[in-house]
Amino acid sequence: MERRTVLIVLFDGVLSLDFTGPLEVFAGAAGAVPGAYDIRTGSLDGSPVRTSSGLSVTPDLALSDASAPHTLIVPGGEGTRAIDPGVVAWLRENAQAARRLVSVCTGAYALAAAGLLDGRRVTTHWALWEGLAERFPAVEVDPGPIYIRDGPVSTSAGVTSGIDLALALVEEDLGRDVALTVARFLVVFLRRPGNQRQFSVQLAAQSAQRRPLRDIQQYIAEHPDADLSVSALAERANLSPRHFARAFREEIGTSPGRYVDQVRLEVARRLLEDTGYGIEEVSRACGYGTPEAMRRAFVRDLGTAPAEYRRRFHP
């Protein structure tokens, strides 16, 4: 079996969970399959670094002493906003020798500064993607997914999404069963697909200012199987359908129909991931009516059918 070296770059101001999350995933996989990974951490000169939360971490080696790894991981944190130019120079000179290049959160800033993301589609933390796009116009930044894989370069969103990406890489290397074993051990109940959005529908959408519309949002979330047509929701809000649709879009940022579609899809995904309900039962519970209607929604928004989604993401 190939022994894959994983090298994690450390620097002052690194966010601890950005590197300990993936580290624990690869360490768990190495425990499940002895010899699968050789995990190392390195700082520019081998000196201890201080994380953004004040934790002192002593790396295994200096980056200059590291051989070309199979997987090179650059975590994020406050330190990426003014990262040591020496780290950027090392990345520019050495990172492309790795077979896989990975960033977590704002680690994408460091890779972009080294010119390693030009022409690639990437993601980063939802609150900081605009800065990445403005500073590095040659990089295609998509703030939506929790991680994106573009050839040998993989980028993930904020903090815990680095765990999701690491699990996907372990699955690529060692298979689905090993990745699921690690996820269960870490009490990560399921492995989120890369195209999952960084927020749930309720978190991503604006919260309506007016009480009737906030109540409608809650009603939709709690009753996805109800009649959620514009006319039915308008009647519940004591508004005309036209007034309701206009007010909903103004306050929540999307149309009632699209909001309902997103909520139903999210509930369906959760039921497929977390329960043993059959496809037909899930489609009824989420208001799709028929399995075919749910299948069309999954293919349109996720690029996969419900049965395949369950196969990949149900523990």
d(Cα 278, Cα 263) in Å, to the nearest integer? 19
Tens digits of residue pLDDT in 117-126: 999 999 999 8
What CA–CA distances, in Å, run from 266 to 179, 201, 289?
23, 7, 16
Distance (Å, whole) CA 15 – CA 229: 45
pLDDT value for 189: 47
Give the per-residue pLDDT at 208.
64
List the catalytic residues: 105
Burial 152-182 (b: 16+ CB within 10 A, else e): ebbbbbbbbbbbbbbbbbbbebbeeebbbbb
User: Beta 4-9 vs 71-74: how paired, if at all?
Assistant: parallel
DSSP string, 266-277: HHHHHHHHH---
Report the pLDDT value the prediction gives residue 126, as an integer from 0 to 100. Answer: 84
Predicted pLDDT of residue 39? 98
Return the pLDDT at 275. 83
pLDDT mean values, one per 10 residues, the chain (315 residues): 92 96 96 96 97 96 97 96 93 97 97 97 91 96 89 91 93 90 75 52 57 87 93 94 93 90 89 87 94 94 88 68
The reported pLDDT for the residue numbered 177 is 86
H or E element at residue 155? strand 153-156
Q: Which run of H or of E encompasses 5? A: strand 4-9
Q: Which residues pair with 242 in a beta bridge?
A: none
**CB 71 within 8 Å of CB 99:** yes
Q: Quote the pLDDT of residue 203.
A: 46
The per-residue pLDDT for 199 is: 45
> How does 219-243 read in b/e, with b if 16+ C-beta sit within 10 Å?
ebeeebeeebebeebbebbebebee
pLDDT at 121: 95
Cross-sheet strand order for the sheet of 100-104: 61-62, 37-43, 4-9, 71-74, 100-104, 153-156, 147-150
Q: Let me know: does 117 contact 90? Beta carbons within 8 Å.
A: no
How many of the other CB atoms lie within 10 Å of CB of 138?
10
Closest CA to 288 of 241, 236, 245, 225: 225
Tens digits of residue pLDDT in 178-213:
988 898 888 774 455 555 554 455 544 456 677 788
